[in-house]
A and B are shown apart, each in its own frame.
Chain A
Amino acid sequence: MTTERAPQPTTAMANPPVQPLASNLLPGDVVRASAMRDLPAPERQLTKVAKLIDVSRCIGCKACQSACIEWNDTHPEVEENVGVYENPHDLTPDMFTLMRFTEYENPETNEFEWLIRKDGCMHCEDPGCLTACPAPGAIVQYSNGIVDFISDNCIGCGYCVAGCPFNIPRIHKTAHVSKKCTLCSDRVAVGQGPACAKACPTQAIVFGTKDEMIAHAEMRIEDLKERGYENAGLYDPQGVGGTHVMYVLHHADKPSLYADLPDDPKISAVVKGWKGAAKDVGLAAMGLAAVGAMAHGALARANEVSAHDDAEAQEMVAHAAGRLTVEEEAARPPEGAP
Chain B
Amino acid sequence: MNIDLSRRSFLKLFGAGAAATSLGAMGFGAAEAAVAAHVRQFKLATTTETRNICTYCSVACGIVMYSRGDLNAGEKAELIHIEGDADHPTNRGTLCPKGAALKDYVRAETRLTQPRYRAPGADRFQEISWDEALDKIARALKDDRDANLIEKNAAGTTVNRWTSTGFLAASATTNETAWLTYKTVRSMGIVGFDNQARV
Contacts and interface: CB of A to CB of B under 8 A. Distances in A.
Interface of A: 1-3, 12-23, 25-28, 30, 33, 36-40, 61-63, 65-67, 69-71, 73, 136-137, 148, 150, 152-153, 182, 185-187, 189-190, 195, 198-203
A37 B96 CA distance: 43
In the A-B complex, the 7 residue pairs with the smallest Cβ-Cβ separation, listed nearest first, are A186-B40, A66-B100, A66-B97, A23-B36, A67-B100, A1-B29, A62-B97
Given A1-B29, A20-B45, A61-B97, A195 B13 contact: no
B95 A40 contact: no
Nearest to A153: B13
Contact of A18 (B28, B49, B104): B49
A31 to B, nearest CB: 12
B183 to A, nearest CB: 37
Nearest to B8: A40
A148 B36 CA distance: 13
B94 A201 contact: yes
Main secondary structure of the interface of B (DSSP, over half): loop
B29 A189 contact: no
B29 A18 contact: no
A3 B86 CA distance: 24
Nearest to B36: A23
Q: How large is the interface on B (under 10, 10 to 19, 20 to 34, 35 or more residues)?
A: 35 or more
Main secondary structure of the interface of A (DSSP, over half): loop
Interface string B36-51: 1011111111111100
18 contacts: A3-B29, A15-B83, A15-B85, A18-B47, A21-B45, A22-B33, A23-B33, A25-B36, A27-B35, A61-B96, A66-B96, A67-B95, A69-B101, A70-B103, A73-B43, A137-B10, A152-B15, A199-B84
B199 interface: no
B161 interface: no
Contacts of A39: 5, 10
Contact of A38 (B5, B15, B84): B5
B64 A15 contact: yes
Contacts of A27: 10-11, 14, 16, 35-36, 38
Interface of B: 2, 4-7, 10-11, 13-16, 27-30, 32-33, 35-36, 38-49, 64, 66, 81-87, 91-101, 103-104
Nearest to B41: A186
Contacts of B35: 26-27
B198 to A, nearest CB: 26
Given A27-B38, A189-B42, A13 B92 contact: yes
A17 B44 contact: yes
Given A39-B5, A153-B13, A189 B44 contact: no
Given A18-B45, A136-B13, A23 B100 contact: no
Contact of A13 (B4, B46, B82, B86): B86
Contacts of B64: 15
Nearest to A142: B39
Contacts of A199: 83-84, 94-96, 99-100
Nearest to A15: B86
Nearest to B15: A152
